[in-house]
Every structure is written in structure tokens, then in C-alpha cells.
Amino acid sequence: MPYGRRRQLVDQGIEEALSLSLQELLASVETRTITDAVGVTTGSFFHHFANRAKFAEAVAHRFEELWQERIARLVHETGTVIDDASAEQIRHAAADEWDQLARADASAGLQHLLWVARNAPLGEGSELTGQQILRGAYQAFIEAVQPVYEVSLDNMGREMLPPFTGRDMTVMTNALAEGLQMIGVVAPDLVRPDLYVDAMAAAFIVITRPRSERADVAHVELASLEAELIVRQPVARPRKRVETWRHIADAAAPLFAERSPADVRVAEVAEAAGVSPSTVYHQFGTVSAVAAAGWAQHVPELRAISEVPLTADEGPLLRIEQVLTRYVELIRVNWGLAQALVSEIVTEAGPSGTRGRQRRLRDIVPLPSLVLEHVRELRVRGLLRRRIDNERLARSLIHLCTLQALLFPEESVERVVAETMARVFDGSLVVPSGA
């Protein structure tokens, strides 16, 4: 076959592949393979998805969920350095972001599938395209992250160097992160651990300057700061001191992923944490208390979701729903932790629940506080009945959601959250007159 005709066939094959929909790209994954892995029937699959096109839409929406979680984490991590913004703090925030990106294989894979299917509807009868999903994701990233970056710059006494803008910086840093993430997944040896951090620091120096200074100052500053942020060896990130109880709880958490606390021995907990059984007894007293404390590692992620600023189109009920949805997802993969949480809540509420304990569960695992501010916002908006107590309502949401998730393991996450909110808010919300 002539070489020219061979090239034509290859190029046409590429063009055809790029015209496939997400539904067609997923077609090689058989429904039975998915259901067998989950442990349900194919009938259950089509109970949740009317057809494979709806499944493709759900896959795309899952990418949106993962992307929003990434935004929430980034806003939270970057926001923590706003009050004490410095070049080194920016490096630490970038390092935390890269730690997350390096583990986000599923999100990266979905993003590239959507990019391949960007020009076609997701499936038959769908009006959504991969381009629309990705455009919405990128736009959400810019709107959430740009203000945080700009506040950090202002606190550092810096401003963007024309013609660059805060939006330009946000787009560039996202593109840098996505590109290095893709390369790091397939060729990790090419992406050294601090490459993203150093590149962010270098980009920061090049496109910003001291506030109210002339543009040519940036060239002088670049030369003077090279040794500090680019050429020098990376400074070791300060290690945060981990309390003994937290170390034990984090190390033992995997033991309770699918096991009840009653089935785990103190010796196993001690071995996982590298401490003696007496240390476990001294810090917690019971294995159940160890398991309940394991929720402390998930509080930052849930708080990041809770603290995403509300837009004009959103309300506190939506943010509560998002927090509870992620909470139930975590329960489904940390069954023993959820069982222990219920047990310890009941124990702590008893007449001698806190006697002899070094710390209270509500202090180390403040789950109700994640929805408390949104309950207060409902109060401010006049949507709660006057006799309803804010803190009691917040605790009811978390505790009932935990029980619902444990009692009905076959129910979907959406169903558990919807029923929890319906039961708690039925009678609590003010019904508008005439409704």
C-alpha cells in the first residue's frame, strides 16, 4: 500500500475517533462487568440509569463532582495562607495542591475522555457535550480560585505585571497543573516531586511585581529573588506536630473500613500505630473511641465543601445537601468508623460519658459544626421556626444521616440524604403563606 494512502487511513481513523460520543467511548465497558464488581444485578443498573446514554451523563456529572471537590480543597488550602501570605507560604499551598493532583487518576482520566468527546453529545438524546462540561468546570475553577489568589497577592503587597491579569494567572496555573498531572500519570520519572511547586514560584515572580512600582522593577526583582525561590534547593516543609491520639486514630482507620469496632482488638490498633496497647488504653480507653476519632481525618475535606461561598443561585439547603452527600459517601467506605461514631455519641451523652476521658468526641470530630453555619443562615433568612435550636438541628442532621446510612446500606446516597433532610426539616422550616 502506498505510504500516502496509509497516512490517509490513519488520519481518517483519528478523525473518526475524535467524533465519538462519551457513550460510545464507554461502550467497551460491559454493564455486567460494572454490576458484578458492585455486587448488584443488571436490573439494578437500569433502575438507576434508563439507558447507557444516561449512564454516560452520570459519568460526566461525576467528573463535575470530583472537580468541585478539587476546587474546594484548593480554595481551602490557599485561603489558609491569606492572613500570612508570603512566597514560602505560596510554595506550601502549591505543594498541597500537587499532593492531591498526583493521586487524582480518576479525575484526570475522565477529563481527557470528555476532551476527546468534546464535539459530540454525551449520548443518544443528550443535549450536553464534553465541551460544555469542561467549559463549566474551568469557569467554576476561575470564579472560585481567582479571588483567593488576588487577595493573597494584595496581602503580600504585590500586583499583576501588565499585560497579565488575575484571571490570566488562574488560567495559567490550572493549565500548568493539568499538564504536569497528565505527564506525571504516564511518566512519573519525568516529573520530579517539586517541579510544580518551583514552576509556580517562578511564574509568580515573572508575572507579578511590588504594588505601585514601575514595570521595569520586575526585571531587577527577578534577578534578586532567583536564589530564594528558583535556584536554591527546596526548603523542607515544616512538619506539623501530630498529637498521639491523632496518630493512633489515623493509623487505625483502615482497620475499620469494613469491620465493626467489636471485631478489632486493641493489639491490632497498637500494631497499626506502632505504639503499645497501654498507650491506646491511655489515649482512648476503648477500640470504639479510636474508630470514632478516625473521622477527624475527614473533617477538613467536609469543611472545605461547607465553606465554598454561596452564589446568588444557591442557598444554605444546597450546601447542607452537598456536605451530607459527601459524608454518606465516606460512610459507605468507612463502615466501622460510622458504627463507632453512633456508639460514642450515645456513650458520651450518658451520665458518665465523659468521666475519665482526656477529650470529648464533639471536640475532636466536630461534624455538626460543618452544617451549623448554614442552619444559622436559614435563621437569618427567616426560614426557621422560632423555637428551633440551631445547634440541636445541626446535630440532628448529622446523627440522623449517620443512622440512615447504616440502617439502609442498599439505598442510594441521594436517597439517604434526601430522606434525612426531609425528616429533619419537616416542621422546622417556615412555610410561606399561601403555599
The string of pLDDT tens digits covering residues 366-388 is: 899 999 999 998 888 888 887 78
Tell me what the mean pLDDT of segment 28-55 comes to.
Answer: 91
Q: Mean of the per-residue pLDDT values for the chain?
A: 82
Q: What is the pLDDT of residue 101?
A: 80
Query: What is the rounded CA–CA span in Å between residue 81 and residue 155?
Result: 10
pLDDT in tens, 118-166: 888 898 888 889 899 999 999 999 998 888 888 877 777 778 888 888 8
Going by C-alpha positions, the residue among 308, 312, 311, 270 that lies closest to residue 287 is 270
Asked if residue 236 has pLDDT above 70, the reply is no
Contact 157, 88 (CB under 8 A): no
At residue 56, the pLDDT reads 92
pLDDT of residue 136: 92
Q: pTM score, two decimals?
A: 0.49
User: One-letter amino acid identity for 199?
Assistant: A
| Cis previous bond, 277, omega within 30 | no
pLDDT > 70? residue 82: no
* Residue-wise pLDDT tens digits, 305-334: 998 888 877 889 999 999 999 999 999 989
For residue 412, which amino acid is it? S
Q: What's the confidence (pLDDT) of residue 354?
A: 53
Q: What is the pLDDT of residue 78?
A: 67
Residue carrying C-alpha cell 459519568: 59
The reported pLDDT for the residue numbered 79 is 60
Provide the pLDDT for residue 200: 84
pLDDT score for 86 = 54
* pLDDT-derived band at 406, boundaries 50, 70, 90: very high
Does residue 157 or residue 33 have the better pLDDT? Answer: 33
What pLDDT is attached to residue 148?
82
Given a cut of 90, whether residue 58 has pLDDT beyond it is yes
pLDDT-derived band of residue 81, with 50, 70 and 90 as boundaries? Answer: low
Grid coordinates representing 25 are: 467511548
- The backbone torsions φ and ψ at residue 350, rounded to the nearest 5 degrees and listed phi first, read -70, 170
- Residue written as grid cell 471536640: 363
Please report the pLDDT score of residue 220 as a whole number: 45
Q: pLDDT (tens digit, 9 = 90+) per residue, 387-403?
A: 788 899 999 999 999 99
Rounded to whole angstroms, how far apart are CA atoms 205 and 225? Answer: 8
Please check whether residue 54 is in contact with residue 91, taking contact to mean a CB–CB distance below 8 angstroms.
no
Structure confidence at residue 310 (pLDDT): 83
User: For 35-179, where are the E strands, in sequence order?
Assistant: 158-160
| Average pLDDT of the segment spanning 273-289 | 88
Which residues have CB under 8 Å from 160's CB, separation 6+? 153, 166, 168, 169, 207, 208, 209
Q: 3-class SS at 129?
A: strand
The residues, any chain, with a CB within 8 Å of residue 148's CB and separated by 6 or more, are 75, 78, 79, 82
More confident site: 362 or 261: 261
- Residue 85 pLDDT > 50: no
Cell 505560596 found at: 90
DSSP string, 198-245: HHHHHHHHHHEEETT--TTHHHHHHHHHHIIIIISPPPPPPPPPPPHH
pLDDT surpassing 90 at residue 416: yes
Tens of pLDDT along 92-122? 778 888 888 877 667 788 888 898 888 888 9
Q: What are the cell numbers at 365? A: 470530630
Would you tell me how many other CB atoms lie within 10 Å of the CB of residue 12?
A: 10
**Residue 130 contacts residue 116 (beta carbons within 8 Å):** yes
Q: What average pLDDT does this structure show over 197-208? A: 82
Cell of 270: 497498637
Give SS3 for 150.
helix
C-alpha cell at position 108: 484526570
* Residue 302 confidence (pLDDT) above 80: yes
Cβ-contact 136, 114 below 8 angstroms: no
- Is the separation of the CB atoms in 134 and 115 below 8 Å? yes
C-alpha cell recorded at residue 340: 463507632
User: What is the phi/psi pair of residue 391, to 5°?
Assistant: -65, -40
Q: Are 394 and 377 in contact (CB under 8 A)?
A: no
**How far apart (Å, rounded) are the C-alpha atoms in residues 354 and 365?**
15
Grade residue 353 by pLDDT with cuts at 50, 70 and 90. Answer: low
Q: Which helix (H) or strand (E) holds 159?
A: strand 158-160
- Helices 299-306/52-79 angle, 10° precision: 100
Q: What is the pLDDT of residue 357?
A: 55
Q: What pLDDT does 290 receive?
A: 92
